A and B are shown apart, each in its own frame.
Chain A
Amino acid sequence: MTTLYPKFETSPTSQHPDSSSPFICTEQLSLYYGPQPAFEQVNLAIPAGQITSLVGPSGCGKSSFLTCLNRLTDLISNCRVTGRIRLGNLDVLDAKTDTTALRRRVGMILQKPNPFPLSIWRNLAFPLREHGVRDRAQIDEIVETALQDVGLWDEVKDRLKAPAQSLSGGQQQRLCIARALALQPEALLMDEPCSALDPISSGIVEDLIAGLRSRYTILVVTHNLAQARRIADNVALFWLQQNSGRLIETGSVQEIFEAPKSSITAAYINGVRG
């Protein structure tokens, strides 16, 4: 799984994953919906080229945290974000930051597969065109590579013109991942990417995510601790305290599962396990 994408102009700041330094770093990051905080004072470094899993109970702000990182929060009218997010030397929250370029660097996958009501091919080709790739042969090549990357190529190569909605749920989710990969991002934000899928599809998507390790920096929200343990390099635990989400503990999978420092982490891990 180390297919190379045909090159097209990428942003000058784009760099190869380098596991020695964090790819994204948040400082005192807080998010409010109106007056109500979703999470507060999160300092989290997400290592480049690794899979970091975000876990925690429902409502503790995991999804909200993801949407800050690619500034999707801009779409929500009463949403306010404070603190800092650094992506390399880019200040993500700066009003002058080009969100188009940012979102190209940081792809996102949602819980429910959301392929556009277009053909399978156009689902991938259309965003590419929007980002300035006009050459048909180049588009075809990128589409094929991305579909191969998610293991979908052999399943759909004879019906690229069929509506994306005709695919199964698991295939749709892989298509969405391919759609993000086609833009050659550096990082992927995944919000419970397997939880809307049947067990078999879920397993396939999980293996796919694990296979993307080291080529992309991946941040994946999951309620499935067993899954976090299987695929993640690092785990960050969010928890609700005084009605707002807090980052309780971060560490490698081993640290979190075998020697948690916080009693909350220990209880969460055991509670869900037992």
Chain B
Amino acid sequence: MVWSLQAIAAIAGALVLLIAAFLIGETLPVLQKVGFLPFFTDPAWNPTEALYNLAPMLWGTLFAAAGSVLLATPLGILSAMFCQYYAPAGIALLYRRLIELLAGIPSVVYGFWGLVTLVPLIGRLHPPGPSLLAGMLILTMMILPTVALTADASFAKVPPAYLQGAASLGLSRWGTIWGVVIPAAKSGLLTGVILETGRALGETMAILMVCGNVVQTPQSIFDPIRTLTANIALEMAYALGDHRSALFVSGLILMGLVTALVIVADAIAPEENHG
């Protein structure tokens, strides 16, 4: 029994290592030739001419993810609060189902909707339309369910004794939420933020459809951008040799970002002190 669990855990761990090893292996040809620095210092991304600057796309990825996380986190947490503490039972249930549905929509559908509705709308406001802003908004919609559902679950786990204690001290509903519920649900909320950030960093299809895919560091939210993920998806089909190897470098950078995220989360994770 125990050994089978150990074996499964070992396989899961081995898979991660295998993928990492594979990524590194695929990046070696270009890294051995030009090293790591040119990926941030080259004058442009033009892999057929051995120019490999990924920095604009790294910025694109980071801006789009950061913007969507900044929007989705408060929205998701507030909506979960509404569900748990303000909404009548029927409305809360309906809202939950709706959010779950939102979580199940395939990303290409989000992308398609963004392309035909959101992008023209932004285009009218401030041409051209396909932009960092469109990417942020689409991503926000896509990661909102993640944060809303994890927040809802972590609010539901807050011990009733805290709520009873707060009520018996005459605390207002908002006071109870702010002063007692949020500290009690802190680690669950943080997990939600990590998950949504991971999803925002890794999203490909929808963002590829609405961001315009111009390789440039955005100067405003209305500028088109290309993310690292979109770059891989766009060029993988025809990339050969060093070009292909360079695409794997962007994959490696993405993996590094997510690893950094997990490390940071572990470092700032609030100690489990409620029970």
Residues of A in contact with B (beta carbons under 8 Å apart): 70, 72, 75, 99-104, 107-108, 110, 112, 114, 116-118, 126-127, 130-131, 163, 165-166, 176, 179-180, 183
How far is the CB of A198 from the nearest CB of chain B, in Å?
18
User: Counting CB contacts under 8 A, is B180 at the interface?
Assistant: yes
Number of interface residues of B (CB under 8 A): 23
Return the contact of A114 from the options B162, B170, B179 (Cβ within 8 A). Answer: B162
The dominant DSSP class at the A interface is helix
Task: Give the nearest-CB partner of A128 in chain B.
Answer: B169
Return the contact of A110 from the options B165, B271, B273 (Cβ within 8 A). Answer: B165
Task: Give the nearest-CB partner of A189 in chain B.
Answer: B168
How far is the CB of B30 from the nearest CB of chain A, in Å?
50
How far is the CB of B90 from the nearest CB of chain A, in Å?
13
A126 to B180, CA, bound (A): 9
Is the Cβ of B171 less than 8 Å from the Cβ of A110?
no
User: Counting CB contacts under 8 A, is B46 at the interface?
Assistant: no
Is the Cβ of A114 less than 8 Å from the Cβ of B273?
no
Q: How many A-B residue pairs have CB under 8 A?
A: 73
| Chain A residues whose CB sits within 8 angstroms of the CB of B168 once the complex forms | 70, 72, 103, 107-108, 110, 180
Task: Give the nearest-CB partner of B184 in chain A.
Answer: A117
| Chain A residues whose CB sits within 8 angstroms of the CB of B273 once the complex forms | 117, 163, 165-166
A163 to B186, CA, bound (A): 14
Q: A110-B164, A114-B162, A114-B164 are in contact. Are A180 and B169 (CB under 8 A)?
A: yes
Q: A116-B180, A116-B183 are in contact. Are A103 and B167 (CB under 8 A)?
A: yes
Task: Give the nearest-CB partner of B179 in chain A.
Answer: A126
Is the Cβ of B164 less than 8 Å from the Cβ of A179?
no
Task: Give the nearest-CB partner of A122 in chain B.
Answer: B179
Give the residues from 136 to 194 in chain B that come closer than 8 angstroms, CB to CB, to chain A. 159, 161-172, 175, 179-180, 183-184, 186
Is the Cβ of B183 less than 8 Å from the Cβ of A102?
no
A139 to B163, CA, bound (A): 23
Return the contact of B167 from the options A75, A112, A165, A183 (Cβ within 8 A). Answer: A75
Other A-B pairs, 15, CB within 8 Å; known A114-B159, A127-B171, A183-B170:
A75-B163, A75-B167, A103-B167, A104-B170, A107-B168, A110-B161, A114-B161, A116-B184, A118-B180, A126-B180, A127-B169, A130-B170, A130-B179, A165-B275, A179-B169
Task: Give the nearest-CB partner of B270 in chain A.
Answer: A117
Complex A-B, nearest 7 residue pairs according to Cβ-Cβ distance, in ascending order: A103-B170, A117-B274, A108-B168, A114-B161, A100-B170, A114-B165, A130-B175
